[in-house]
Structure 1
């Protein structure tokens, strides 16, 4: 198989970083909605297997939501339509096929036309090479776009954080989490804190709780049971004897990641209220804090019955990604 070349380029090139630093402050802010991706790809290629390959990666279902929602909102335009109105968009994929390219390659550029922007150039000498490149590097494209979306939220949250809430979590758990303006502590007990941002129609909440490290492995069933134990005690529903629990008919999605040099178990799935009809998505970060002989759960959940949930849960994910042990 032909070896593909992947180039990571900050601004135009690494070599021109000084020049880019000088002009970067002059760049406009990005345009477009969170989760949108502009795909610059000619119409004939978009209607072929190449377009199907892009859609397979970019518009597959976002994990852990109650109704299907795409990973990204994909907007395809042909190359001749790629004018200034689109160049400042937050996420841009530019696809070009030409025999001037000796081999398939992908060039990743940040803050090219605007900031904070991600531009990914996908170049190939022919259609077959392009299709192979997308199949081979599709998950890398998704990963870069997701990380950029999270980074935009996270930087904004750090810049405009609710300092009192952040300090409360630091003082209580020796954990630093950046909460944006509008979040407040709803409940504070010995080993459990509930932080929330409420509107008349939506709630975004973060639960932080800890317990002593067990003598068993941190399996998914064990972690689900521990979350249910805490939410049954502290997250009551609207009716008598109603409480939050994880939806048992959908096993949470699990993966192991690293966040700020911390090994994290990530769980995604659905919650519901026992004894009521409330429900929605959640994302949990679990940290096995061996040094302090404890397990840390940082759990974000959304209640937004009238709205799509993807962007709400993505915002909570950005909050969780700010976590640091202090």
Structure 2
């Protein structure tokens, strides 16, 4: 009986704490801020010194896979004395707390919702620097996942209605209704939307399970597959035109050979996935840009589900466009 009463008391206490937390979050203001913008709360003397330099090396490092260097995050430094009111509502916040034991905490919905707040502390500058360096990967992952979630949330306000995706491929993919269907042939889908100075694209298709083998040549296999898809479906403006000498021009999308693609592995919808990032170009033309390709291993259905995003956006930054495409890819749900 005593054990039962103790368990009941503990359960009631826990539920009370959860209820209080939910009520507190319910009255939090909506988070704000531009995509990929992190507020760093630290004293000016720390920001202009070694602490600020290390934070910038982590958060503003160049993104691999873009034709020009662009920082992973845009940083806004805010002194603690003015960190109040509206400025606390940014979705992603990194706070530096001095004269405290060295450590790092990851919290959410502290000042607004949805929000990620990371607090780095230390008694000395050296301790703070060490904590930032030791947790670099987790800091980036936390903020990046937050931005991917936010982009998905924004696009969910106006979802597409291409139900044939589920009918043909047995999966769902979330992107906004602003995308138009450029082509649909059997189990191949291509969607596009106009952006500031160009266009953004999503391609979706499936491959037999034996179309790709995991070995030392996996990257080469993926490049060969995507180039064959580019040749079949993504033609250049000059494709089919005839030169003065009577030669017919062949122009289609291929992977740029002068740029080594990034290759890695991740999890999408609880399934292994191969990630390739690099640059594409058109043969016999001057168009090109970045791409991100996910090949999802669907063992249940004995196939690979391929989702690729790529953009053509000359003269403008491409970071946020590519984040949107990655957020679309990571929304895949396979039945």
TM-score (norm 1): 0.90
| Contact 1:183–1:195 (CA under 8 A) maintained in structure 2 | yes
Q: What residue number does 2:235 align with?
A: 236
Aligned residue runs from structure 1 range 311-322, under 5 A: 311-322=320-331
Size of the alignment, in residue pairs? 309
Aligned residue runs from structure 1 range 1-326, under 5 A: 16-98=17-99, 101=100, 103-162=101-160, 164-165=161-162, 167-199=163-195, 201-214=197-210, 217-218=213-214, 219-240=218-239, 241-326=250-335
Q: Distance in 2 between matches of 1:200 and 1:26?
A: 37
Shift, 1:207, TM fit: 0.4
Shift, 1:15, TM fit: 8.0
Q: Distance in 1 between matches of 2:290 and 2:188?
A: 20
Shift, 1:234, TM fit: 0.6
Change (3 A) 1:199 1:149: closer
> What root-mean-square deviation, in Å, do the aligned CA atoms of Structure 1 and Structure 2 show?
1.9
Shift, 1:215, TM fit: 6.7
Q: Distance in 1 between matches of 2:311 and 2:277?
A: 12
4+ long deviations beyond 6 Å: none
Shift, 1:159, TM fit: 4.3
Instruction: Return the index of the structure with the highest Cα Rg.
Output: 2
Say which SS state the counterpart of residue 135 (structure 2) adopts: helix
Shift, 1:274, TM fit: 0.9
Shift, 1:27, TM fit: 2.1
Shift, 1:302, TM fit: 1.1
Q: Distance in 2 between matches of 1:46 and 1:94?
A: 12
Please list every run of 5 or more consecutive structure 2 residues that lacks an aligned counterpart in the other structure. Answer: 1-13, 240-249
Please list every run of 5 or more consecutive structure 1 residues that lacks an aligned counterpart in the other structure. Answer: 1-12
TM-score (norm 2): 0.87
